[in-house]
Amino acid sequence: MPKGVLVNLVKCIGCGGCTVACKMYNNNKWINDRAPTNGENAKLADENWTIIKKFNLHQNNNSQVWRFVKRQCLHCQSPSCASACFAKALQKTKEGAVVYYHDNCVGCRYCMLACPFKIPKFEWQTPIPVITKCTMCYNRIKNGKSPACVSVCPEGVMKFGERDVLLREAKAIIENDNRYIKHIYGENEAGGTNWLYISDTPFEKLGFNINIVKKPLPQYTSLYMKCTPIFGAIWVILLTFLYFITKPKKITKNNNPENLTQSKNNNPKINNKEIKNE
């Protein structure tokens, strides 16, 4: 059974402990000068695999409230990033994590275009850049441990376990507590993700993309991907045909432009033997 994480945004106080744990476990650098991990300007980056973004919201009574949103790779059940990666740098595991293999990455950035959640980031600051993203601490979860970010949360915002069990728990919470909106983000988005979110605030107000289709994205392109070798062969044949019909004729001695010019000007070609005899 694939593993997952249930994130209860109502409980998050924005302490940032999860971002520190992520940095330490993955040995990522702090880049607050260009991409902070906490606050209103927090954003995912090549060294930021986990962030806590702060939102200042106004309620109906004109009072102001804060909401904190933990963001990282959602680890889709049918990841479009892995489907788009011809180098197999991104792969889906049976444990539920979408991991990447640094040595396989060629830096093509197709995964960045394919991901509906805009998660993979490019190492713009390095001489030989590749893609980076959260791996759900794969070495931990395959040994039965929770991701590093989950293990340090003091408020119990995140719960690690089997996705199906977490989904049932999320449904029970939002049905029995009127504070929560009736939407589990990640249940169906892009075919479902292994990170699930519940909230008392509409997800569109918290920076979530709510216009994502429910059908797994790789299903839209699978037919075209199967046809790729056929189109490739047709293209090679077409280019070969164009080469032969546009190939310039071979220049012979009789139609050499130099000879034609000399003949027109009545300028005989000098024989080297004649020069020697003189």
CB atoms within 10 A of CB 191: 18
* Domains of the chain with CATH codes: 3-221 (3.30.70.20), 226-277 (no CATH)
- Partner residues linked to 196 by β-bridges: 6
Which residue did the predictor score with more confidence, 265 or 31?
31
Q: Tokens at residue 192, please?
A: 């479902």
- Residue 243: the pLDDT is 75
Provide the edge-to-edge strand list for the sheet that holds 158-162.
158-162, 3-8, 195-198
Residue 185 CA to residue 198 CA, distance in Å, equals 7
- Over residues 67-85, the mean pLDDT reads 96
Phi, psi torsion values for 175, nearest 5 degrees: -80, -30
Q: Write down the pLDDT at residue 230.
A: 66
- Tally Cβ neighbours within 10 Å of residue 278: 4
Ramachandran angles phi, psi of 23, nearest 5°: -60, -45
Q: DSSP state, 237?
A: H
Burial category of 54 from C-beta neighbours within 10 Å (exposed 0-12, middle 13-18, buried 19 and up): middle
Instruction: Give the residue-averaged pLDDT of 123-149.
Output: 95
Between 169 and 62, the more confident residue is 169
Q: Are 47 and 173 in contact (CB under 8 A)?
A: no
Long-range contacts of 95-98 (CB under 8 A, 24+ apart): 95/2, 95/3, 95/138, 95/141, 95/142, 96/2, 96/3, 96/4, 96/136, 96/141, 96/163, 96/194, 97/3, 97/135, 97/136, 97/137, 97/138, 97/141, 97/194, 98/73, 98/135, 98/136
Q: E-assigned strands of the chain?
A: 3-8, 38-39, 51-58, 64-71, 90-92, 98-100, 121-122, 131-132, 158-162, 195-198
Residue 274, pLDDT > 70, answer no
| Integer Cα distance of 231 and 82 in angstroms | 22
Residue owning tokens 């694939």? 2
Looking at per-residue pLDDT, the higher value among 60 and 206 belongs to 206
The most confident of 100-104, 184-188, 218-222, by mean pLDDT: 184-188
**In the chain, what percentage of residues exceed pLDDT 90?**
71
Tell me what the pLDDT averaged over the chain comes to: 87
Reduced to 3 states, what is the DSSP secondary structure of residue 235? helix
| Helix intervals (H) in 85-183 | 110-114, 138-141, 148-151, 163-176
Q: How many angstroms separate the CA atoms of 29 and 21, rounded?
A: 12
